[in-house]
Structure 1
Amino acid sequence: MHKIKKPCGFHCIKMKDIGVSFGDQVVLEHINLHIHCGSLTALIGRNGAGKSTLLKAILGDIPHTGSITFSDTENGKMKKMKIGYVPQSLNLEPNTPMNVYDLITSFRYDYPVFLKNKKLYQEIKEALAEFEADHLIDQPIGKLSGGELQRVLLSLAVMDEPNLLLLDEPVSGIDKNGMDLFYEKMDYLRKNYDMAIIIISHDLDYVAKYADKVVLIDKTVTADGNPKEVYESQAFHRVFGDATYAYGNNVGHVRKVEAKEAPYEAGYKGKKEEA
Structure 2
Amino acid sequence: MTASGAETTAVRVDDLAVEYPGRRLSAPHRALHGVDVVVGDDEVVGIVGESGSGKSTLARVIAGDLVAPKGADPAPVIVGGDATVLGHRLRGIRRRELTSLTFNVAYLPQDAASRLAPELTVAEVIAQPILERDRLYNRKALGLRVATMLDAVELPLAVFEKYPFELSSGQRQRVAVARSLVLGPKLWVADEPTAGIDVTVRGAISHLIARLHEEGSFAAVLISHDLSLLRRSTSRVAALHDGRIVGLGPIDDLLAHPEHPFLAGLSHANSTVSSDAG
TM-score, structure 1 as length reference: 0.72
Q: For structure 2, list consecutive stretches of 5 or more residues without a partner in the other structure.
A: 1-5, 23-27, 66-75, 88-99
Q: Which residue does the alignment assign to 1:13?
A: 11
Q: Which residue does the alignment assign to 1:214?
A: 237
Go from structure 1 to structure 2 and tell me whether the alpha carbon gap of 1:195 and 1:201 turns closer, same or farther (over 3 Å shift).
Answer: same
- The offset of 1:121, in angstroms, is 2.2
> Equivalences for 1:49-68 in 2 at 5 Å?
49-61=53-65, 62-65=76-79, 66-68=81-83
> Equivalences for 1:96-175 in 2 at 5 Å?
96-110=118-132, 117-133=139-155, 135=157, 136-175=159-198
Structure 1 counterpart of 2:84, one-letter code:
T
What's the CA shift string for 1:225-264, capped at 9, x where partnerless? 122332234444445427359xxxxxxx85549xxxxxxx
TM-score, structure 2 as length reference: 0.71
Q: In structure 2, what is the Cα distance between the partners aligned to 1:92 and 1:239?
A: 32
Given the alignment of the two structures, is residue 43 of structure 1 paired with residue 43 of structure 2, yes or no?
A: no
Q: For structure 1, list consecutive stretches of 5 or more residues without a partner in the other structure.
A: 1-7, 73-78, 246-252, 258-275
SS at match of 2:196: coil
Q: In structure 2, what is the Cα distance between the partners aligned to 1:204 and 1:238?
A: 15
Structure 2 counterpart of 1:212, one-letter code:
S
Go from structure 1 to structure 2 and tell me whether the alpha carbon gap of 1:9 and 1:138 turns closer, same or farther (over 3 Å shift).
Answer: farther
Go from structure 1 to structure 2 and tell me whether the alpha carbon gap of 1:242 and 1:161 turns closer, same or farther (over 3 Å shift).
Answer: closer
- The offset of 1:196, in angstroms, is 1.0
- Residues 230 and 236 in structure 1, CA contact (< 8 A), matched pair in contact too: no
> Equivalences for 1:161-200 in 2 at 5 Å?
161-200=184-223
Structure 1 counterpart of 2:63, one-letter code:
L
- Residues 9 and 41 in structure 2, CA contact (< 8 A), matched pair in contact too: yes
Q: Which residue does the alignment assign to 1:232?
A: 256
- Residues 48 and 224 in structure 2, CA contact (< 8 A), matched pair in contact too: yes
Q: In structure 2, what is the Cα distance between the partners aligned to 1:239 and 1:35?
A: 21
Given the alignment of the two structures, is residue 241 of structure 1 paired with residue 274 of structure 2, yes or no?
A: no
- Residues 258 and 267 in structure 2, CA contact (< 8 A), matched pair in contact too: no
Which sits farther off after the overlay, 235-244 or 188-197?
235-244
Q: In structure 2, what is the Cα distance between the partners aligned to 1:92 and 1:243?
A: 33
* Greater percentage in helix: 2
Aligned residues: 235
- Indicate the structure whose relative CO is greater, using CA pairs within 8 Å and at least 6 residues apart: 1
Go from structure 1 to structure 2 and tell me whether the alpha carbon gap of 1:129 and 1:146 turns closer, same or farther (over 3 Å shift).
Answer: same
Q: In structure 2, what is the Cα distance between the partners aligned to 1:43 and 1:196?
A: 14
- Residues 85 and 166 in structure 1, CA contact (< 8 A), matched pair in contact too: yes
- The offset of 1:91, in angstroms, is 2.6
- Residues 10 and 36 in structure 1, CA contact (< 8 A), matched pair in contact too: yes
> Equivalences for 1:243-262 in 2 at 5 Å?
243=267, 255-256=272-273
Aligned-residue sequence identity (percent) comes to: 21
- The offset of 1:183, in angstroms, is 2.3
- Residues 255 and 264 in structure 2, CA contact (< 8 A), matched pair in contact too: no
Q: In structure 1, what is the Cα distance between the partners aligned to 2:240 and 2:229?
A: 18
Q: In structure 1, what is the Cα distance between the partners aligned to 2:149 and 2:266?
A: 42
- The offset of 1:203, in angstroms, is 2.1
- The offset of 1:130, in angstroms, is 2.8
- Residues 173 and 195 in structure 2, CA contact (< 8 A), matched pair in contact too: no
